[in-house]
Structure 1
Amino acid sequence: MNDLTSILSEPVARLGATTITLGHALAFGAVLFLGLFLALVIALWRSAKARAVAAAEAADHARDAEARMAGILASQAEMQGRMGAIADVFGARQAELTQSIGQRLDAMTGRLGQTMTEQTKSTHESLAKLQERLAVIDTAQGNIQSLAGQVVQLQAILSNKQTRGAFGQSRMEAIVADGLPHGAYEFQPTLSNGSRPDCLVKMPNGAPALAIDAKFPLEAWNAIRAADGADLQKVAAQAFRRDIEIHVRDIAEKYLIQGETQDIAFMFVPSESVFAEIHENFEAVVQRSHRSRIIIVSPSLLMLSIQVIQAILKDARMREQAHLIQGEVVRLMEDVARVDDRVRRLQTHFGQATKDIDDILVSTSKVTRRGQKIEALEFGTQPDGDAGPDAASRVPAAKLESGPRVADSKTGQLRLRVVEGDD
C-alpha cells in the first residue's frame, strides 16, 4: 500500500512550479475519462431524445397530413356537392331564363305585331285625313279662284262711278244701322234746300242733325295708282287734290244748313288705305276740309263716331227717364223700409224664442240635477226583519214627496234637501 502510494506520489512532470505526480495524472485521467463518458452518455441521450422528438414530430406531421388530407377530401366532396347543386341551379335558372326569354320574345312579337297593326291603321287614318285636307285645300283653292273672280268683279264695279257710290253707301249704311237704334238715323233724306245727303243722324234734345256723305271720288286716286312715271303721278295727284277740294266744297254748300244740320259734316272714305294715304301725302287737303268744317272719316272712325253718338243718345234717354227712375227709387226705398220693419219684428220673435229656449234649458238642467241627487240617495226596498238604522234612507221616492207624512227625521232632512234643490 505504501508502495502504491509512493508510486502515485512520484513526480511525472513539472509545470512551472507545480509538480505533477502519477496520482495526479491518474486522477486527472480518471476525471477526464469520466467527463468523456458522461459527455458520451449525454450525447447518446440527447440523440435518442432528438430521435424520439423527431419521431413524435413526424407522427404529428403524419397525423396533421392525414387530417389535412381528410379535410381536403371532405372539402373536395363538399365542393363536388356544391358544384352539383350549382349545376342544378344553373340548369334550372337556364331553363327559367330560356322560358322567360321565350315568353318575352313571344310578347315582344305580339306587341310588335300589334304596334305594326296600329301603325298601319294610324297611317291609313293619316292618309285619309290627308286626303280630306287635300280635298279641303282643293275646295279652298276653288273658293280663292271664285274670290279672285269676285275681286275682279268688284274692281269692275268700283270702276263705275254709280256702282262705286252704291258700294260706299252700303258700307256706311251697315255701320250706322249696326251702331244706332232704329229711328235715330235716316238714309237719303231731303233737306230744306232740296239736297239729299246719304245719311242724316238725328241728335237728341232737338239739336240739328249730322249729315254724312259717302260719294268719295276715286277716279283720280285710281289714276295715281296707275301712273308709271313721276310726272304722271304728279299730274294725277293734282287732279286728286282738286277733286277732293271740289267735293268738300259741295258738301259744305249743300249739307251745312244753319239750324237744320250740324256745323260739321262727315265725308266717308270706304277704304282705310285710301284714308291713310290722304292723311300722309295730302295734308293740305285735310287741313282745307277741316277749315270747311268737313271731317274725313274712314270706316273705323265712322264706327267710333257712331258709338259716341249712341252714348249721347243713351244719356239723353236716361235724362228723359230720370223722373221715372226717381219714382222707382222712391218705391224701392218704401219696399226696403217695409222689409226692414218686418225683419225687426222677426228679430223680436227670434229674441223671444231664444229666451224661451234659455228658460227650457234652465228647467232641463234643474230636472237633470234633481235626478242626479235622487240617484245619489240609492233608494230601495228591504225586508221587514232586516230594518236597520239605514232603513229610512231607502224609502221610495214617492214617500219622500209625501211631505209631512214622513215620520223619520233623517228622511225628512233628505226630503228637505231635495225640495231646496227645486228652488
Structure 2
Amino acid sequence: DQLKGLQDILRNPKQRGVLGEYYLETVLKNVLPPGSYQMQYGFEDGSLVDAVVFIKDKIVPVDSKFSLENYERILATNDPAERERLEKMFKQDLKTRIDETSKYIKPAERTMDFAFMFIPSEAIYYDLLINKVGAVQVSTQDLIEYAFKEKHVIIVSPTSFLAYLQTVLQGLRALQIEESAKEIRKNVEALKKHLINYEDYVKKMGTQLGTLVGTYNTGYKELKKIDKDIVRIAGGDGAIEPMVLERPQEEEDF
C-alpha cells in the first residue's frame, strides 16, 4: 500500500513537485548551516525559485524539476514509432525545464552566473549521464552541454548535489576564515595607529616635562639667591639647598 501510494504521488505532477522540493530541502538542511540557504526565494519580478544558497553577498538559485510522464511512457511502450515520438517529447520536456531554470540567473539581483537544476530522481539523472533513457537510445548528452554551455545550468541529482554543496560549504568556511583574518588585520592596523598616536603624545609630554623641569630648576636657583641675600642681611647659615631635578631622557631607537 505504501509503495502504491508513492507511485500515485509520483504520477501527480503537483504532488511530485512538492516531493522534489522536499528532497531538495532535506539535502540542503543536512549539509548547509541555517541561514545559508532559503526555500521559495522571490525575485523582483515576482518569480519564485525553489531554493537559493547564499555565498557571501551572492545567491545561487536551485530549482527542482521532475519530468517523469513521458519518461515512464517511453519505458512502457513497445511501439517504435510511439517511442520515437515520446523520446522527442521527453527531450523537449528537459529542455523546457533547463530554460525555466536559467531564468533564475539574475546577476542584477546578486545571483551567480549559474544555477542548479535539481532532479530528485537518480535514475533519470543517471540516464542523462550515460546518454540513454531506460533501455532506449536517445541522445541526451547534447542537453547537458546545452544546459551548461548555453544556459549556465548545472544539472544535479541528490547525490551529485551533495558533492557540490560540500564544495560550497568549504567555500563558506574559507570566506569566514578570510573575513576573520581581514577583521584581525583591521584591528591590528587600528592598534598600530593608536600606539603611534600614544607615542607622539608621550614624546610631547616628555618635552613639556623637560621644559617644566628646567623652569623648576631655574626657579629653585633663584630661590637660593634669595636665601643668600637673607644670610648677608641677617647673618647665619643658609637654610635652602637647591634640589635639582634631572630632565627626562629620550631613549634611542634600537
TM-score (norm 1): 0.40
User: What percentage of aligned pairs have identical amino acids?
Assistant: 28
Using the alignment, how far apart are the partners of 1:215 and 1:276 within structure 2? 15
Q: 1:229: how far off? A: 2.2
* Residues 227, 236 of structure 1: 8 Å contact kept: no
1:256 to 105, 113, 117: 105
Displacement of 1:210 after TM fit?
0.4
1:201 positional shift = 0.5
Q: In the aligned structure 1, how far is the partner of 2:45 from the partner of 2:73? A: 34
Question: Partner letter of residue 106 of structure 2?
Answer: I
| Cα offset, 1:235, TM superposition | 1.2
2:33 matched to which residue of 1?
181
Partner of 2:146 in structure 1?
A: 288
The amino acid across from 1:312 in the alignment is: G
Structure 2 residue runs of 5 or longer lacking an equivalent are 133-139, 187-254
Aligned residues: 178
- Structure 1's 161 and 313: CA in aligned 2 closer, same or farther, altered over 3 A? same
Distance 1:167 1:284 in 2: 28
Higher relative contact order (CA 8 A, sep 6+): 2
Q: Would you tell me which structure has more helix in proportion to its own residues? A: 1
1:317 aligns with 2:166: no
In 2, distance between residues paired with 1:265 and 1:326? 34
Q: Distance in 2 between matches of 1:191 and 1:181?
A: 23
Match of 2:142, as an amino acid? A
Change (3 A) 1:226 1:313: same
Kindly state the Cα deviation for residue 230 of structure 1 after the two structures are TM-superposed: 1.9
| Matched residue, 1:165 | 17
Shift of 1:195: 0.8
Find the counterpart in structure 2 of residue 242 from structure 1: 92
Secondary structure at the counterpart of residue 210 of structure 1 = strand
SS at match of 1:197: strand
- Mapped to 1, the partners of 2:65 and 2:145 lie a distance apart of 20
Contact 2:65–2:120 (CA under 8 A) maintained in structure 1: no
Shift of 1:256: 1.1
Aligned partner of 1:195 among 39, 47, 51? 47
Instruction: Give the structure with higher Rg (CA).
Output: 1
In 2, the alpha carbon distance for the partners of 1:228 and 1:292 equals: 34
Structure 1 residue aligned with 2:83: 233
| In structure 1, distance between residues paired with 2:44 and 2:169 | 26
Deviations 1:72-115 (A, max 9, x none): xxxxxxxxxxxxxxxxxxxxxxxxxxxxxxxxxxxxxxxxxxxx
Do the aligned residues in 1 keep the contact of 2:114 with 2:154 (CA within 8 Å)? yes
Counterparts of residues 112-123 of structure 1 (less than 5 Å):
none
SS of 1:321's equivalent?
A: helix
Judge conservation of contact 2:71–2:90 (CA < 8 Å) in 1: yes
Q: Aligned equivalents of 2:183 and 2:153: distance in 1?
A: 39
1:258 positional shift: 2.0
167-176 or 279-288: which moved more? 279-288
Q: Which amino acid in the other structure matches residue 292 of structure 1?
A: K
Q: Give the SS at the match of 1:267.
A: strand
Task: Please provide the CA RMSD for this pair.
Answer: 2.0
| AA at the equivalent of 1:276 | Y
Cα distance in 1 for partners of 2:9, 2:87 equals 23
For structure 1, the 5+ residue unaligned runs are 1-148, 328-423
What CA distance in whole angstroms lies between the structure 1 residues aligned with 2:108 and 2:169? 22
Name 2:115's counterpart in structure 1: 265
8 Å Cα contact 1:211-1:265 kept in structure 2: yes
Q: Which runs of 4+ in 1 moved over 2 A?
A: 323-327
Check conservation: 1:216, 1:267, Cα contact below 8 A: no
Structure-2 separation of matches of 1:249 and 1:215: 11
Q: Deviations over 1:237-290 (max 9, x none)?
A: 11100111111112222x011232111111111111110112222112112111
For residues 267 and 257 of structure 1, what CA distance do their matches in structure 2 show?
15
